[in-house]
Homo-oligomer: A and B are copies of this chain.
């Protein structure tokens, strides 16, 4: 097991009707900015619940944060925060709204002249103005971690940021919100969370037995609840298991003491930047092919995953490992997630060159748990995904 440091101070309020407890979690006298996305919270009742809960606060709002939160839009919110001297941010939404709020939390206290530097350099966020979240879309785990990913449309960039100052003070997880989420977003959420686990698990064996088993627990739970929640989003028990699994998949716990990869995300982000494909779907496109391409690096863990997750008990390490990749791809297909780039866009042929060039241009020479994935490898992996 590798040495590790772990601290996650976010308070989780999980279950039915927790939004009503919001007022107790925000310091009295706060000037609150509520941030949200495209407005679905106005049709599913969450907007009203939040407004009712915060009746005693000086409350402003900023809607319209899109999926893959855009820097240009967030800069408008930042101007509002500064002008109105906001003291507390409340993200009401999914990972995009929460990630955007994290950027704002950090940028509001950033003393440099160009907030994009937080992402471009990047600058670790040791502090931020306090914020909480009301999660409306389980997927990214952003509600219980200190990282964010922000997009800049003008330069087609999608970059990460984070730091110990960016944990939410609290996050409210009411699984009843899942009733009104469209099916394709449920599928995205399952795929995103499942791939988060894979990125922290599908590396090389590191003598971290408990972390492996907890990672496997999350994957087993997602596989078990996926068909239930895809069929009936009002199944509260399945909604609970789905929601909590998404949070646990990326709250830092399973990555402690083990190597992690994250190259599927790095490559996937380029597919979103170029083609605007849903984040989760880019992961489903890349992951199976990355595992095929880096098979020798990952075959021991792939075989363990084959045995424990997919009950593949016979065959060589290589045979089990290969079968597990096929099972993974079939799992994504069972969620109606397509796993070929050409199924998303007719204009796919330059994608491998684009992704490889972008990784080169940023001075990144290597990805993966062994730092042995070069831009040339990225080219080949993306090409395999056409």
Contact = CB atoms under 8 A, between A and B. Distances in A.
Interface of A: 1-16, 18, 175, 207-211, 213-214, 216-218, 220-221, 224-225, 237, 240-241, 244-245, 248, 256-257
Nearest to A207: B237
Contacts of A210: 217-218, 221, 241, 244-245, 248
Nearest to A4: B14
A177 to B, nearest CB: 14
A6 B241 CA distance: 16
Given A14-B256, A214-B217, A240 B208 contact: yes
Contact of A209 (B9, B214, B225): B225
Interface centre among A13, A214, A237 (most CB of B within 10 A): A214
Nearest to A167: B9
Nearest to A222: B210
A257 B5 CA distance: 26
A374 to B, nearest CB: 30
Given A1-B244, A210-B248, A214-B214, A11 B6 contact: yes
A357 B245 CA distance: 44
A94 B41 CA distance: 49
Contacts of A221: 209-210, 213
Contacts of A15: 1-4, 257
Contacts of A12: 4-7, 256
A16 to B, nearest CB: 6
A244 B214 CA distance: 12
A3 B176 CA distance: 12
Contacts of A213: 216-218, 220-221
A13 B213 CA distance: 21
A14 B6 contact: yes
Contacts of A4: 12, 14-15
Interface centre among A4, A220, A256 (most CB of B within 10 A): A4
Contacts of A8: 8-9
Contact of A207 (B7, B217, B240, B256): B240
A185 to B, nearest CB: 21
Contacts of A237: 1, 207
A252 B220 CA distance: 22
Given A217-B210, A221-B210, A237-B207, A7 B2 contact: no
